[in-house]
Structure 1
């Protein structure tokens, strides 16, 4: 992994937020990267070395994932996670950023663009989640049962990291030991499962179409043709609901586009940002 100008945790919005900041010597453009569910900054390991040669790059571990705090008091709603990203941007004195979100991170990007549009110059949605509803009441109720976090842990252990990776990448030959350990390591302590139990309760569901239609931020949607986690029809629907958006589909690609197609993602981002600047 590339050396960051800064990496560590800062107290933001009542929790510890881990981030890596790669400062470019001359670029005025800052990209803030937000990963997906059950992931971390690790998922951008192939994209960051490419982006940092062109831009300032900040990669964030969204609580409770990666090295960020796993407090059972923090509210893990998308609205509050968006507020956390906004407060981190303010702490770093960013007036304008380009937000890049993968999967769940894309939904956080949309929440930021909806609640504080003046911060977001452009948005890049990599196989962004969309149109998911709040958890069913019986599951929310179950999350209050003592030791429910152990059921969450057992469920994730049964599905297994390798099987989950096979579900998110199109070419299974790219799954190696480094990749397996990188996605497994944040789940070796029980604190993450306690926090995920809280997240079951707090997640309020994705932005509805009416809210999406109010977002005026230029949005680039990059999708894997064979995405089995957030299928392409979700990307097409988002492209329809977001008034200022463009959809790009990558052939022979699954859900984990920052790992599978980092060079293509870089080129599409650069092209998109140049087009947005000239408008």
Structure 2
């Protein structure tokens, strides 16, 4: 069992952030992982195993979620810009070289990267698309309805029936237990986020990416109908140094869905972040 160095950090006097630093004496570089919506550090359990000990790994909870939740007053909603500010501060604190975001964590990640943080050399944006397609819009509209009613049970079933449809039964049970029992302010934050996404210009994510000069890898699951790999390729224009990988036989949750998905996801990450890592032919490019 990996043991992290745990700290609760003060971010500009506004937020207190629970952080977990998984150090490896032989690792030369450090990566920070950015959670998706309604997720916590626990969501990155498999990704952590795939990246450590190749890299030092930083995990953190948003101010409203997980182990950061008890340390913050939850008096106002977090915007994408505020989430990016928290991320930029953590990048500086931990001397981070690489960044990996999952799902809606891509909004804060791309906003932070557009600020050209001097330490970041490479980034991976997984399970994210700049376009809100019909399937995602339906999911968001249904989610907005459940969240407005603060109906955690409906939210839990919705996530498992859509984005999580390819998760194994055990993970679905964990996912449902977590998502259906969030605090009221967490549902309010998600409702705020969805309203913002649905009311935004579809080009806003592409605009946020302009000016990013470092290499960025976009990873999407071949079976993911919500953040589609072909839609992610729209980032090729605003991000000149972009690469794209579609993982075979995987949906939205990538490395959590089955052993083969975890294996090919790990190889995709390490082939990009550590080019000396042995190459594997199992990726669909």
TM tier, smaller: 0.7 to 0.9
Q: What are the Cα deviations for residues 198-239 of structure 1, in whole angstroms up to 9, with x where unaligned?
A: 546777957443442321110011110111321223212123
1:200 to 1:271, Cα distance in 2 relative to 1, 3 A: closer
My pick for the range that moved more, 226-235 or 22-31, is 226-235
Instruction: Trace 1:191-270 onto structure 2 (pairs within 5 A).
Output: 191-197=185-191, 199=193, 205=200, 207-260=204-257, 261-270=261-270
Aligned counterpart, 2:107 = 107
Q: Distance in 2 between matches of 1:149 and 1:12?
A: 32
Shift of 1:170: 5.4
Count of equivalent residues? 257
Distance in 1 of aligned mates of 2:74 and 2:43: 25
Aligned twin of 1:138: none
Cα RMSD, aligned residues only: 3.1
CA contact (8 A) 2:110 2:208 kept: no
Q: What TM-score does the superposition give when structure 2 sets the normalisation length?
A: 0.77
1:150 positional shift:
7.2
Show the counterpart of 1:135: none
Give 1:272 deviation, angstroms: 0.9
The answer to which of 221-230 and 10-19 deviates more is: 10-19
Q: 1:198 to 1:208 in 2, by over 3 A?
A: closer
Would you say the 8 A contact 2:247–2:265 is kept in 1?
A: no
Higher relative contact order (CA 8 A, sep 6+): 1
For structure 2, the residue ranges without an aligned partner over 5 or more in a row are 133-143, 278-285
Q: 1:134-189, CA deviations, whole angstroms, 9 ceiling, x for partnerless residues?
A: xxxxxxxxx9xxxx9973422x432434x4124224535x121x652355336343
